[in-house]
Amino acid sequence: MYDYIIVGAGSAGCVLANRLTEDPSVKVLLLEAGGADSRREIHIPAAFSKLFQTSCDWAYFTEAEPQLENRKLYWPRGKVLGGSSSINAMIYIRGNREDYDQWAALGNPGWSFADVLPYFKKSQNQERGPSEYHGTGGPLNVSDLRSANPLSLAFVEAAVEAGFTRNSDFNAASQEGFGTYQVTQQNGRRHSAANAYLRPAMGRPNLKVITAGHASGILFEGKRAVGVSFQEGESNRQERADREVILCAGAIGSPQLLMLSGIGPGPQLRTFSIPVVCDLPGVGRNLQDHPSVGLIYQCLEPVSLANAESLTSLLRYMCFKNGLLTSNVGEAGGFVKSSSACPTPDIQFHFGPGYFKNHGLEKIKEHAFSFGPTLVRPSSKGSITLKSSNPLDSPRILANYFADGRDLDAMVEGIKVARAISRSSALARYRGRELFPGDDIQSDAGFRDYARRITETLYHPVGTCKMGTDAEAVVDSELRVHGVEGLRVVDASIMPIVPGGNTNAPTIMVAEKAADLIKGGRPRAATIPAAETQLAI
């Protein structure tokens, strides 16, 4: 018997496993469907795309996307200790402070920016040192790039030359502008949630970690969750939880497991002969993600990541932990508004000194650099639904990108900004021909067609077990599942609105706050200078 069973050892699950077992009297089981994070590609930053469509990846595919020429899009998600923090691009971004104030305004007390900033700081070891926006001494190491590529630095200068502001810290007083990203790395190696939180806790006698254990259902006695069933090898097992079952399986896995366990839209569950424990129509709804489009340019100098696997690069990394292999690929970027009517930036840029196409699965030998304008304020919403009652079957994912025409309009503006920056003189020495979309595409109609043909996920699905009080809410402001007892969801699925930026840091924040809620502790108090309370972060 355990006090808590945590399903999923991704970013949130690793945080909770650490924080809950700080009390030696509390016994925790952490259940992970994937394996150990032992592959070297996990820890060498630039190698992460080599993990896609391997045993470390759930390798989901969406349904045919109606607005994207009916393409079925590949969605990598981490299936390994550390979850997606073990296969992501390591960018440390919190989003805009208005995101969290809006969460609170939607009926979620305790989730304003003032409420969550202390948890961002608590989680962090900011190598630049502490400030009103940053913390030191926390588990997660946040650093500057060790070996920023000259192409990335030129991109930032090109953006400034094009009229945009320079921003040295997207997580401080203002989000707008361009600069290099900070990353979750330590000494030139990936610093995943498994490295930061789980590994320091694994020696505790009150924590048990089971890998290759695929959760198949939540056990209930009446309306109370009392345990979890899971498949381990050829056997089916059950473990019980005296206090709570906590789902940390992510925006795809958590709603799927809820529905398989009888919590979700009643009519859908009955279609698969699943007994309904609690009819919650919002489970699997409200799916939001950040779509991205790649613009790719030939590079005239041999300085790109095409050299990352050379013997020289490998030796430099092995001996000094610097050079091309420390790259997170998306080294630089920025935040802009697609129109003056936007209250906060709705377009984020990811710049890489390499070839951004088909998730890195498609290789070219020539040197290149890429722009990735990304829509971070999507109006379109999708859904997760079941394909069957078999836990080993992936669910149906419909992202529904560009269902709302305003999203495609904003993406076109993002493409135009990328084009403008690419033509700045700071990039002139490196810029060759435009490989994609190509100089023959100049009109808005051409940009729209290109976006429909090329758009892919930026790996930020959220919202499918959203927090709130409305008819589609799945959890309350303490992340307890409505209508049942002893069950919480703690991961990106609880986010009612996708943050305006990369989602790993916000997911870790959610879990840090949830740990205090579960322990019954008092929320941490924020300290924000009064003069800066209206500024963006």
pLDDT tens for 365-382 read 899 999 999 999 999 999
What is residue 521's predicted lDDT score, i.e. its pLDDT?
Answer: 61
Sign of CA dihedral 89, 93, 99, 101: positive
What is residue 364's predicted lDDT score, i.e. its pLDDT?
Answer: 79
Residues 189-195: what's their mean pLDDT?
98
Confidence of residue 536 (pLDDT cuts 50, 70, 90): very low
Structure tokens at 417: 């900004």
Confidence of residue 523 (pLDDT cuts 50, 70, 90): low
Tens digits of residue pLDDT in 92-131: 999 999 999 999 999 999 999 999 999 999 999 999 999 9
Q: Residue ranges of the alpha helices (H) in 21-149?
A: 40-43, 97-105, 113-123
What is residue 525's predicted lDDT score, i.e. its pLDDT?
Answer: 53
| Residue given tokens 């930061």 in the structure block | 196
Confidence of residue 253 (pLDDT cuts 50, 70, 90): very high
Cα distances from 266 to residues 108, 258, 262, 271, 279, in angstroms, run: 25, 12, 8, 9, 5
Tens digits of residue pLDDT in 223-232: 999 999 999 9
Give the predicted TM-score (pTM) of the model: 0.96
Tens digits of residue pLDDT in 27-63: 999 999 999 999 999 999 999 999 999 999 999 999 9
Residues 72-93: what's their mean pLDDT?
98
What is residue 513's predicted lDDT score, i.e. its pLDDT?
Answer: 98
Domains of the chain: 1-142+185-289+381-400+459-537 (3.50.50.60), 146-180+291-377+402-454 (3.30.410.40)
Is the confidence at residue 526, as pLDDT, over 70? no
Is the confidence at residue 531, as pLDDT, over 90? no
Residue 48 has φ and ψ, to the nearest 5°, of -60, -30
Element (H, E) at 186: strand 185-186
Confidence of residue 522 (pLDDT cuts 50, 70, 90): low
Is the confidence at residue 529, as pLDDT, over 60? no
| Residue given tokens 């069933």 in the structure block | 229
Higher pLDDT, 177 or 535: 177
CA 325 – CA 190 distance, rounded (Å):
11
Tens digits of residue pLDDT in 146-187: 999 999 999 999 999 999 999 999 999 999 999 999 999 999
What is residue 534's predicted lDDT score, i.e. its pLDDT?
Answer: 30
- Do 7 and 228 form a contact (C-beta atoms < 8 A)? yes
Is the confidence at residue 533, as pLDDT, over 70? no
Higher pLDDT, 89 or 525: 89
Residues 446-462: what's their mean pLDDT?
98
Residues 209-217: what's their mean pLDDT?
98
Secondary structure of 295-359 in HEC code, one letter for each residue: EEEEECCCCCHHHCCCHHHHHHHHHHCCCHHHCCCCCEEEEECCCCCCCCCCEEEEEECCCCCHH
Is the confidence at residue 208, as pLDDT, over 70? yes
Phi-psi label, residue 405: left if phi above 0, alpha if psi -120 to 50, beta otherwise: alpha
Sign of CA dihedral 354, 355, 357, 358: negative
- Do 384 and 372 form a contact (C-beta atoms < 8 A)? no
CA 78 – CA 110 distance, rounded (Å):
29
Is the confidence at residue 537, as pLDDT, over 60? no
Confidence of residue 361 (pLDDT cuts 50, 70, 90): confident
Residues with a known catalytic role: 460
- Do 377 and 501 form a contact (C-beta atoms < 8 A)? no
Residue 96 has φ and ψ, to the nearest 5°, of -95, 145
What is residue 532's predicted lDDT score, i.e. its pLDDT?
Answer: 36
Across the chain, mean pLDDT equals: 96
